[in-house]
Chains A and B, each alone.
Chain A
């Protein structure tokens, strides 16, 4: 291997995070507007029009790309908010739209045929048959895979589609197939699919009780922490529950995905982009993670797969910003399933 074609796609939850990502070596940043049109619809996050313009100018001046996530599903009564978001994104000169809804893709191809389209992870496309459907209908040029396939399964997808494949490399781990999870909607009435929010903050309550610190989501007890134990954010699928009188993380521990050691293999099978999760995280997180992944990709590019090894310092840096200070290979590693 003489060169690595893998692009590093980094999260930009704010303009400072965007600049930090670019400055630390991101090839692309992805961002969203300040509304429900994207799947990280949290207060204090995301971009207004002026910020998108400034971010695009900043990235383009440094020959980097800006991808705009419009990856939630509009409904009849709010449809025009999503199509207007597409129009604005085209006007601001973003390099690609990350979409999940086929209706919106049809609108984008009809109205802005020059715009490059990526299929969002929220599209839940896990097979080449699904990805090729979007390619044939809307000419999508890239698809982001949900975090559910093993390495061999990812390889098979890449081999059977002309569409570039992007995978998650680092950050929060969705245990469920993205775009197919209504757990948050069940508990709070707000869903990642339609409202762009999972376990949204306005439903969260931390309570210091004689039994310990309790975290609740819309009144539902998600976890309880002993003295000295760090109380985590009550994300539904990372809580501790009782199953047959046993209390444990029944779905998944609070942990981050970290595929650094899989990088040579991901390059070999033809992955075209690695996504770093974390638009809700700080610019400091973005800096740290981008720096490590840039270094790893550069090392792979210069030394090839044989010359590649994961430096302990990289892992130490990444573990500092991992959820629960721990990491997993997730579904890439079969026994995780």
Chain B
């Protein structure tokens, strides 16, 4: 089982990002997804900077993937998308691409790229749709977090040729995208003049119910879960259904989580012990309902 570090979903200061990936280069992660996927106003690192980080990680032996933006709105969004596809097609530097909307799929197909990754926002829920992506050149499927383990196993079983499958295994769940920036709205600002408030918020802003229960996380135009999706206790069941696990970067302890996953996969912990050990590294309660075909917020099997 391989470990992937998903794209950084938050907006951190430039030096924090560079330091973070320098640390990740030393971690036992196999693949690293890079690039801005959430908000086109986030520019601490431009595409060239991301490609440079990618080269550093590639030199450290990591597979590097450039992720594309989830919500494409403007011509300038498309311009970035085209550049990401070009670098892959031309072999300079030739990193694989994670397609996060059908516009990216079209550009990759037109460019003749044959080893791209079908991202979690493509809404692939059945073998027919996945087969279309495979026929277009997808060689890995990053499953939508809302899909259950049982459902993804059925898709794989029905596919003529197997495809490498990646499951969202750790982090706040990316639940929704909007044109509206909820962080800006919280500060009574408009998106166009948001003052880049995200920069001072490492892990998004917690939205609580009026009973004080943490419920969601505001991350600019993205809404995440407040709870941390955590499949450590489910690893025996995940093995056999997927070849890769995605860990979503969080403000603190990402490297510790990566190391814990590696240790758990190597059999150094029982599932229950692995979950217990992760508690010290988590800022919020765990959940795993989606994997079990239930409400995502649930921690279905208490450990």
Contact = CB atoms under 8 A, between A and B. Distances in A.
Nearest to A185: B146
A61 interface: no
Nearest to A135: B106
B114 interface: no
A185 B223 CA distance: 13
A101 B294 CA distance: 23
Contacts of B175: 181-183, 186
A336 B180 contact: yes
Given A74-B126, A127-B101, A221 B213 contact: yes
Given A133-B103, A189-B294, A243-B206, A73 B212 contact: no
A250 interface: yes
B219 to A, nearest CB: 12
Interface string B93-124: 00000000111111101000000000001010
Interface residues of A, number: 70
B179 A337 contact: yes
A60 interface: no
Contacts of A191: 146
Contacts of B266: none
Contacts of B145: 182
A334 interface: yes
Nearest to A177: B177
A76 B154 contact: yes
Contact of B123 (A179, A221, A244, A250): A179
A73 B215 CA distance: 26
A188 B215 CA distance: 13
A250 B213 contact: no
Given A76-B158, A106-B128, A251-B178, 18 more contacts: A101-B125, A101-B128, A102-B132, A124-B101, A130-B106, A133-B102, A133-B105, A133-B109, A175-B180, A180-B70, A180-B121, A180-B176, A182-B175, A182-B296, A186-B175, A188-B295, A193-B125, A250-B182
Interface of B: 70-75, 77-78, 81, 101-107, 109, 121, 123, 125-132, 144-146, 151, 154-155, 157-158, 173, 175-182, 185-186, 190-192, 205-213, 215-216, 218, 223, 225, 289-290, 293-297
16 contacts: A79-B127, A103-B130, A127-B77, A150-B179, A156-B74, A179-B123, A182-B173, A185-B146, A185-B290, A186-B290, A193-B146, A242-B209, A242-B212, A331-B180, A334-B190, A335-B192
